[in-house]
Amino acid sequence: MCGIIGYVGDQSALDVALQGLRRLEYRGYDSSGIAVVGAGALRTARRAGKLANLEKLLAESPETDPMPGTTGMGHTRWATHGGPTDVNAHPHTDCTGALAVIHNGIIENFALLRAELEAGGHELTSETDTEVVAHLLEAELARVPGPVGVAGPASSADASHPLTGALRRVCRRLEGAFTLVVVHRDYPEVVVGARRNSPLVVGLGEGESFLASDVSAFIAHTREAMEIGQDQVVEARRDGVAVTDFEGQPVDNRRYHVDWDASAAEKGGYPYFMLKEINEQPTALADTLRGRLSADGAIVLDEERLSAQDFRDVDKVFIVACGTAYHAGLIAKYAVEHWTRLPCEVEMASEFRYRDPVLDRSTLVIAISQSGETLDTLMAVKHAREQKARVLAICNTNGSTIPRESDAVLYTRCGPEVGVASTKTFLGQVAACLLVGLFLAQVRGVLYGDEVAAYVERLQRMPELVRRTLGRLEPIRELARELADAKAVLFLGRHVGYPVALEGALKLKELAYMHAEGFPAGELKHGPIALIEPGLPVLVVVPSPRGRANLHGKIVSNIQEVRARGARTIVIAEDGDLAVEPYADHLIRVPETTSLFAPLVTTLPLQVFACELALARGLDVDQPRNLAKSVTVE
């Protein structure tokens, strides 16, 4: 959720940190700060509000170079403990002003630690849980002092370095989820980081090293990266990094190459990232589907640490996810049950482990997360593994935590998504869910290889249908501008159209800050129809008339019901569907396709509608208020 960048090398640490923070703005934040070590001093600057406020503060410095130094770090904060103020912004320093800490996550036992520190004479000035770490490190360094400027080979774990050792000892006392990055005035040769249940990745450059919450923070400098695992500490130097666990034992982590560059995270001529990413969906979908069949016609996952027999032994499927990914999971349920005949449940990841679900070695848990760091989903995965269930991850971020904790992985390959509200990654997740359903059906022998190949071939034609759909959505844009002053919008759907309706409502809530609800159309008469009043926009996702018997006729009846009560009906229907025309005040056409594939095109008008309505209200669609791209706290 918070953005983190740490640097040690030969460049200006201030410039590297500010550039990294600009690339991390998409994560959502309410304050920012910088710390630089150089010329025998530690200098910090922090401001509430957007990064521009911090840059203005730095520009107004009376000195030509307000922060000289080639070691430093930057942070964008999303408030948890304490409001978004200058005082609560990171970095936080100790009593001596010698060290600074930035933090992503929540330290659950901070109140107890704070009381202990204050009883020992420490003066804490903020309301944050983060500040206790700075003072705990101060106490540890005072207890076990070391020589100033300790150096050592980066190729081995330097257990004697004071800052690294102190951070390990402090981490062993912390409870909760955290990524920590620390710099110290007396140790300009290192930046030290640690993680537990929160993302941290290393960038490996030539004569420089980076620590970050996301590879996009350093992608302009290096595309070589290293995973940092659970309960590990990394010591970064110019000539490399050393990683140990919290007990000080060396670990050897996987290195990988990032297969997209800095230009992929730029706007590409669009005024907003979200507009760019909506229009990238044909490419993102094609990349997700590319190369998924082996030479013998079998579906290929990206990582698979389970045998075919493990999948054949599965007798129940759970899907766990949050937000938009949860809606992709609801669509997956229809595909999994239809193609595999296995019972499938979809759970909000935040509730999954608290209701004590019945799991065993014959249970498959499918975890869906764009970032691979969504903490609610990660905790659900950990609970499933503790109960001996198998876990398959669907994720967009190579090397992130959820894929590493899983038994099998399918990456969506959508590239970086900067807009907070998911668009192209949702389509990638839906496509990946369909592939997983086909994979399970094939390995379990429910579908023959040629049947699976035929479905995949049809799926691979979907990017062109997505492209065609995006080219015909000007009417929904015009309608969104017309409805900019609406107080509420209802969304209705049936079958896979119901999760699409939920997703449409969520996008409108996220972007336009207005009341929006999605309902199964059949539930209208069980309560929601009381909400219908003259002029209320009701957006209806209509299933194909070629689909399940009478389902189309039923939703046409639902449209008539709301229209009879004065609603303004906005109907999403496939080409050639004539039955809806008399009852649609506004008709948006999408191409014909297989029923289970329909969300790949019916979602598009809803994304565009929400985006355009929010823009008409003068809102920032890339960074909606109170939201963050990756939710790494529970």
pLDDT of residue 27: 66
DSSP, res 215: G
Token pair, residue 12, equals 């200006």
Token pair, residue 112, equals 């107890």
| Amino acid type, 2 | C
pLDDT of residue 155: 35
pLDDT in tens, 161-217: 899 999 999 999 999 889 999 999 999 999 999 999 888 999 999 999 999 998 889
Q: Which of 197-206, 260-269, 313-322, 422-431 has the lowest mean pLDDT?
A: 260-269
What is the model's pTM?
0.77
Q: Is the pLDDT of residue 263 over 50?
A: yes
Catalytic: 2? yes
In the numeric block, the tokens 């978004």 are attached to 84
pLDDT in tens, 99-113: 999 999 889 899 999
237: Cβ contacts below 8 Å, ≥ 6 apart: 8, 154, 189, 190, 209
Sheet strand arrangement including 31-38: 41-48, 31-38, 71-77, 3-8, 209-212, 201-204, 224-227, 255-257
- Residue 393, beta-bridge partner list: 367, 409
Token pair, residue 618, equals 């003068």
Token pair, residue 201, equals 């990745």
Mean pLDDT, range 32-43, rounded to an integer: 96
* Spatial contact of 284 and 428, defined as CB atoms under 8 Å apart: yes
| 547 vs 442, higher pLDDT | 442
Sheet strand arrangement including 176-184: 92-93, 99-107, 176-184, 191-196, 232-237, 240-245
pLDDT of residue 177: 83
pLDDT tier for residue 18 given thresholds of 50, 70 and 90: very high
pLDDT in tens, 424-454: 999 999 999 999 999 999 999 999 989 999 9
Torsions phi, psi for 235 (to 5 deg): -110, 110
Alpha-carbon torsion (371, 461, 507, 564), positive or negative:
negative
Mean pLDDT, range 602-608, rounded to an integer: 98
Q: Is the pLDDT of residue 550 over 70?
A: yes
Catalytic: 382? no
Give the E-state strand segments of 78-175 in sequence order: 92-93, 99-107
Q: Is the pLDDT of residue 153 over 60?
A: no
Q: Is the pLDDT of residue 149 over 50?
A: no
- The Cβ of residue 559 has, within 10 Å, a number of other Cβ atoms equal to 24
Q: Is the pLDDT of residue 281 over 80?
A: yes
Range with the largest mean pLDDT of 20-24, 146-150, 410-414, 589-593 = 589-593
Alpha carbons 70 and 183: distance in angstroms, whole number: 12
267-460 and 474-616, same CATH topology: yes
Q: Where are the alpha helices (DSSP H) in 348-488?
A: 349-352, 375-386, 401-405, 424-443, 449-459, 462-470, 474-482
pLDDT tier for residue 254 given thresholds of 50, 70 and 90: confident
Query: Which fold would CATH assign to domain 474-616?
Result: Rossmann fold (3.40.50)
User: Given 276, 424, 507, 629, which residue is catalytic?
Assistant: 629
pLDDT in tens, 44-68: 999 999 999 999 999 987 665 778 9
Please state which of the four CATH numbers 3.40.640.10, 3.40.50.200, 3.40.50.10490, 3.30.930.20 is assigned to the domain occupying 267-460. 3.40.50.10490
pLDDT tier for residue 157 given thresholds of 50, 70 and 90: very low
User: Given 2, 344, 433, 611, which residue is catalytic?
Assistant: 2
Radius of gyration of the chain (CA): 26
Class of domain 3-264: alpha beta
Mean pLDDT, range 618-629, rounded to an integer: 89
pLDDT tier for residue 26 given thresholds of 50, 70 and 90: low
Mean pLDDT, range 534-553, rounded to an integer: 90
| 47 vs 148, higher pLDDT | 47
Strands 363-369 and 390-395: parallel
- Domain spans, the chain: 3-264, 267-460, 474-616
Q: What is the end-to-end Cα distance of the chain in Å, rounded?
A: 11
pLDDT in tens, 464-497: 999 999 999 999 999 999 999 999 999 999 999 9
In the numeric block, the tokens 């040769």 are attached to 189
Q: Is the pLDDT of residue 409 over 80?
A: yes
Alpha carbons 49 and 475: distance in angstroms, whole number: 36
- Residue 332, beta-bridge partner list: none
Four-point Cα dihedral 141, 145, 150, 153, nearest 10: -80
Q: Is the pLDDT of residue 324 over 70?
A: yes
Provide the b/e sequence for 298-310 (b: ≥16 CB within 10 Å).
ebebbbbebeeeb
Nearest to 209 by CA among 401, 72, 91, 104: 72
Name the strand (E) or helix (H) holding 393: strand 390-395
pLDDT of residue 560: 95
pLDDT tier for residue 261 given thresholds of 50, 70 and 90: confident
